[in-house]
C-alpha cells in the first residue's frame, strides 16, 4: 500500500508541475525548470553519500574496529539478500542513524556513538534493519526524483516573480499570482508526505529483516527521547539532511505536522507493535 501511495503522490507532484508550468511558465519555462532542477538534484544524488558522511565526520569501521555493530549489519544484510554496505560511526552523543548511497551496490549505513551507547544489541539491529530497508527500497532515488519535481515547481514560481509568468493562462495575472504563492507550498507538502510514507515503509520492511518489530519499536522510543534532549549541532547547521535520519535530529517534536519529514514516533511504534513477530534470526539474540 505504501508503494501505491508513493506512486500516487509522485503522480500528483508531476501533475502539479505540469499545471504550474502551463499557468506561469509556458512550455519553455517548464523545460528549463525541469532541466535545471534535474541537473542539480542528479549531481546531489550522485555525490550525496560521500558529501553527507564527510559533513558528519563519519569514520568507516570494520569487523576489527567495531565488531558488534559490523556483525549486526553483516547478518542483517544477509537476511535481506543485500550486498554488505560500508559501515560508519559518527562521534555524536545524540542517538541516531541514517543510510546513504545511490543503490545497494554502493550503500553505506551510519550510526552515532550515542546510538550504540544507548541501545542494546537487539535495538541496534532494529535500527540498522530500518536503514537497510531504505537501501533495499532505493529511497534515495525516490526522494531525488521528488526533490527534482519540487525544485522545478519552485523555479517556475521564481520565473514568474522575475519575468511576469505566462499571462495567457485562463486566469491571467490572478492565476500567475496564485500559482506563485500556492504551488511551492503544495509541492513541499507532497514532498513531506512522500518522505513520511517512505519512513513507514522502511519501518515495516526493517521489522521483517530483523524479525522482531518490537526491537525497532523500543529503539524508536529511546531515539526520540534522546533526540529531544541532546543537540546534533552538525544537523542543525545543515537542516536539509534531517530527513535522512531515522528520527528527526532537529528537536522538531514528534507530531504529524504537515511540514515534518518524519511521521509521529508514537504512530510508528503503534504500527510496529501491531505487526507481531516477523520470523528472522540473528547472532545478537
Distance from chain centroid for Cα 86: 19
Cell of 120: 542494546
Cell of 82: 543485500
- The backbone torsions φ and ψ at residue 112, rounded to the nearest 5 degrees and listed phi first, read -80, 160
Residue 80, SS3? coil
Is 131 catalytic? The answer is: yes
Is residue 102 within 8 A of residue 45, CB to CB? The reply is yes
DSSP string, the chain: -HHHHHHHHHHHHHHHHHHHIIIIIHHHHHHHHHHHHHHHHHHHHHHHHHHHHHHTT-EEE-TTTSHHHHHHHHHHHHHTT-PPPEEEEE--SS--EEEESSSGGG-EEEEEHHHHHHS-HHHHHHHHHHHHHHHHTTHHHHHHHHHHHHHHHHHHHHHHHHH---TTSTTHHHHHHHHHHHHHHHHHHHHHHHHHHHHHHHHHHHHHHHS-HHHHHHHHHHHHHHHHHS--HHHHH-GGGGGGBSS-TT---SS--TT-SS--HHHHHHHHHTT-------TT-
Q: Considering 105, 123, 131, 208, which one is annotated as catalytic?
A: 131
Is residue 243 within 8 A of residue 96, CB to CB? The reply is no
Looking at the annotation, which residues are catalytic? 131
Amino acid at each position: 500500500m505504501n508503494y501505491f501511495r508513493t506512486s500516487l503522490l509522485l503522480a500528483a507532484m508531476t501533475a502539479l508541475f505540469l499545471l504550474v508550468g502551463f499557468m506561469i511558465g509556458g512550455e519553455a519555462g517548464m523545460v528549463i525548470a525541469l532541466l535545471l532542477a534535474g541537473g542539480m538534484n542528479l549531481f546531489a544524488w550522485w555525490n550525496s553519500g560521500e558529501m553527507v558522511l564527510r559533513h558528519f565526520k563519519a569514520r568507516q569501521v570494520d569487523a576489527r574496529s567495531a565488531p558488534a555493530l559490523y556483525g549486526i549489519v553483516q547478518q542483517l544484510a544477509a537476511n535481506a539478500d543485500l550486498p554488505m554496505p560500508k559501515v560508519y560511526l559518527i562521534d555524536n552523543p545524540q542517538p541516531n542513524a541514517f543510510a546513504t548511497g545511490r543503490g545497494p551496490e554502493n550503500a553505506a549505513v551510519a550510526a552515532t556513538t550515542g546510538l550504540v551507547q544507548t541501545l542494546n544489541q537487539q535495538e541496534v539491529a532494529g535500527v540498522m534493519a530500518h536503514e537497510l530497508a531504505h537501501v533495499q527500497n532505493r529511497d534515495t532515488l525516490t526522494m531525488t526524483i521528488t526533490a527534482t519535481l519540487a525544485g522545478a515547481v519552485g523555479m517556475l514560481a521564481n520565473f514568474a516573480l522575475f519575468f511576469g509568468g505566462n499571462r495567457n493562462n485562463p486566469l491571467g495575472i490572478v492565476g500567475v499570482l496564485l500559482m506563485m504563492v500556492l504551488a511551492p507550498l503544495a509541492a513541499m507538502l507532497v514532498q513531506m508526505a512522500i518522505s513520511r510514507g517512505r519512513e513507514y515503509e522502511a519501518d515495516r520492511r526493517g521489522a521483517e529483516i530483523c524479525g522482531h518489530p518490537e526491537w525497532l519499536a523500543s529503539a524508536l522510543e529511546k531515539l526520540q527521547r534522546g533526540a529531544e534532549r541532546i543537540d546534533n549541532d552538525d544537523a542543525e547547521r545543515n537542516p536539509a539532511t534531517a530527513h535522512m535520519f531515522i528520527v528527526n535530529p532537529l528537536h522538531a517534536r514528534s507530531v504529524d505536522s504537515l511540514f515534518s519529514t518524519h511521521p509521529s514516533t508514537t504512530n510508528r511504534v503503534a504500527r510496529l507493535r501491531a505487526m507481531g513477530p516477523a520470523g528472522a534470526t540473528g547472532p545478537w539474540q
